[in-house]
Amino acid sequence: MKRIISLSSVLCLCLSMTASISSLNKKKHKEKEYFISSLMARMTLKEKIAQLNLVTPTAGTGPFKTKRALEKLKDGTAGNVLSLRGTAESIREKEAFAEQTRLKIPMLSALDIIHGYKTVFPIPLGLSCTWDSVLIKKTARIAAIEATAIGYNNTYSPMVDITRDPRWGRVMEGSGEDPYLGSVIARAMVKGYQGENLDASTSLLACVKHFGMYGAIEAGRDYNTTDMSRVTMYNVYLPPYKAAVEAGAGSVMTSFNDVEGIPSTANKWLLTDLLRNQWGFKGFMVTDYNAVQELIPHGVAADYEEAAEKAIKAGTDMDMASECYSMFMEKLVTEGHIDTSYINRACRRVLEVKYDLGLFNDPYKGYQKGLAERVILSKEHKAVAREATQRAMVLLKNERQTLPLRPDSRVALIGPFLDNKAEMLSMWSPDGVIDSVVSIVAGMKKQFREVKTAVGTYMNDDPALKSFEPFDSAQQAKMIAEAVELAHQSDVVVAVLGESRWLSGEARSMTKISMPACQKELLKALKKTGKPVILVLLSGRPMVLTDIIPHADAIIAAWRPGTMAGDAIADVLSGKYNPSGKLTMTFPRSVGQIPIYYNHKNTGRPFKDGDRGQFKSKYLDEMNSPLFPFGYGLSYTTFRYGDIVLSDTIVNGAKKHITASISVTNTGKYSGEETVQLYINDPVASITRPVKELKDYQKVMLAPGETKKITFNITPEALKFYNHHLVYDWEPGLFNLYIGTNSDDVKEAHFVWNK
């Protein structure tokens, strides 16, 4: 009886606490509504329009920078700013311009913080290869701590676009090709930036981009058009955006592309019907740089005035850089083209987010004298950066166990990136402190007895691509000869090659994504020495490596590694850290295969490499399969998978679940971490379905000889998809289940699930 009373008491206490929290939330909401309504009642139309105007004194990813941006912040015609630069004190001084305006409304101070602020982590594509949402969340939290200490309260991250075309330079900013993993990472990054409470001093407003479907631009060419069915949108491209919104993201950015013929910035279905009415998004929409003005060349607006009208009616709240709102919104109201309700709606959304951030209580939240110096590039932050860089690297090849290297190895460290600290960053880490970067040569010399270096080659010999020095064939031959001589004197060659940081990122689309010819020439010469050759590949995208593979005994994809590059790369080469990264974007055999991705459809005439038959979906001159598939990544040890054991093979009812178990054994001599991946295929459905889709994964650490049983819980939620009517549901029948080390190398089982 006492236990019953005790449980009843606990239940009553829980109900009481829930009621108290609900009451408190209602009170806070009423206070917020009263504050915003009272403020807006005092605002003039011009002051409301100013809240929709985002200016920038320095950033220029479009045709211009804002003229007289700081003056507009002072006179109140601009209520928000992008890319203030300087010390914490100088940024605070500029943010204080808001106090000179009539109502003293604090400003959003935004910056593109993509993969760290001063402490720079691997690019997001690299971070996604960790498959570690806890670590990724931690990197976003650190970025927020550092950025808020300087004075920023808004970042334009995360980019959650699904990317299937490595020609697009912006694949470096995202998490690859899979909607499930992309959604997991989107949630982690939003939570990392914004923290537990948005008004906390270290919380940074996240902005989800680019909404929507920007990763599907045709030909992988930046700013290009997008065209797809809504079934593809809902099943493939939209899930990460939705996950980020559900995680509480306070803002969303429109994309440069059109969606069903209407540019995102003027697309009411996208911004209002879907994002707000279906998903319940409560924050504000900001354009990408100059996107309102660009409705004119898109061909849906005749002039700036019409562009502003279409954008605000569609649901675009804030105008980044173009100032179309600032110039024409009042005129549009006066002449009766738009009702003031559109401006009131947009203004309220912006003010509500500022309220949620706590800016009305403390416009300079996060600022403390001396704080930036204490937290930026702290020992703790650099330790996380080192771990993230280790875990982001993917071992693509390791013949004859070339890696790891012995500490007493005589290493010939060769390549143009060795001592170039700036090249460890990316075009999206302009605030990274170059002097803080651990160069590759510095990191290697800490862990190996003898390290000698040679440049070996120019970074690039293509005159069409950006280079800081003209190519000289005679000098190239001399550098190769010096590198070959050094290789002969050494036990092993470590060649650090790839693409420069200036070849990936925004406006960095490429049709040639293979290694530059001059670097290939060096690698071939090094291989001819007979010494083991290890290629450390630096890049911002998957590259075509088909003709490189034979000339390297081991290959590590190191991406753009960030602040702790040298130490982390040395950790992996020495075996201090056993690589565990898994690809989140497919590596093609040739550019002609693009777009290439694992979760493709089967087609009516499916083809597998090795099949016979002429009239099938295949190339005459290339295999269908990729060079490296999604989920691929080797280890210094080896793993053996047992057979899949299902708790049931026939299931009845939507409220049931089954388990799928598999034993994984470390059959090598090193401890290692494996990412066990679960995929499902629905072979007969009302619409064509992918050959397989990632539905879950688990990371497991195994000592040599150790076996662990991995168990996945499967519910009907994993079987759902959007059908032809865009209804999200599952259909009964047979399902194929796969578990393995990557999307190609899997064990297979089957079950029937009836409703």
Annotated catalytic residue within 288, 317, 319, 571: 288
CB 284 within 8 Å of CB 295: no
- Residue 221 in tokens: 């060419």
The sign of the dihedral angle between the CA atoms of 251, 255, 256, 261 is: negative
CB distance 220 to 160 below 8 Å = no
Cis ω for the linkage preceding 212 (within 30 of 0): yes
Residue 542 near residue 595 (C-beta atoms within 8 A): no
Which of 29, 358, 373 lies closest to 201 in space, CA to CA? 358
Q: Report the alpha-carbon distance of residue 290 to residue 322 in Å, rounded.
A: 4
H or E element in which residue 736 lies: strand 733-740
Q: Ramachandran region of residue 46, left (φ > 0), alpha (ψ -120 to 50) or beta?
A: alpha
Distance of CA 711 to the CA centre of its chain: 28
CA distance 362 to 358: 6
Which residues, including other chains, have CB under 8 Å from residue 434's CB and lie 6 or more apart?
421, 422, 425
- How many whole angstroms separate alpha carbon 692 and alpha carbon 681? 5
- Please choose, from the candidates 362, 263, 329, the residue with its C-alpha nearest in 3D space to the C-alpha of residue 52: 329
Distances (CA, A) of 654 to 89, 713, 718: 59, 14, 12
Token pair of 42 as six digits: 């005092």
* Under 8 Å between Cβ of 126 and 114: no
- Intra-chain end-to-end CA distance of the chain, in Å: 42
The CA distance from 503 to 506, in Å, is: 9
Sign (positive or negative) of CA dihedral 610, 541, 216, 693? positive
Whole-angstrom Cα distance, residue 559 to residue 174? Answer: 13
What DSSP element (H or E) covers 601? Answer: none
The rounded distance, in Å, linking the Cα atoms of 598 and 589 is 14
* DSSP-derived secondary structure letter, 24: H
Give the DSSP per-residue string, 155-186.
E---B------TTSGGGGGS--S-HHHHHHHH
Residue 468, Cβ neighbours under 10 Å: how many?
A: 9
The whole-angstrom separation of Cα 60 and Cα 580 is 38
Beta-carbon contacts of 531 under 8 Å, excluding residues fewer than 6 positions away, are: 412, 487, 488, 490, 491, 492, 493
Whose tokens are 């550098």? That residue is 479
Give the Cα separation of 59 and 423 in Å (integer).
21
The secondary element (H helix, E strand) that includes residue 693 is: strand 693-702
The torsion angle over the Cα atoms of residues 33, 152, 129 and 575, rounded to 10 degrees, is: -140
Two structure tokens written together for 684: 């007969």
Active site residue 288: yes
- C-alpha to C-alpha distance for 504 and 75, rounded to whole angstroms: 39
- What is each CA distance from 284 to 84, 106, 119, 343, in whole angstroms? 21, 16, 29, 12
Calculate Rg over the CA atoms of the chain: 27
With residue 582 as reference, give the H or E element that holds it: none
What residues form DSSP beta bridges with 707? 665
Residue 64 neighbours by CB under 8 Å, 6+ apart: 290, 321
Active site residues: 288
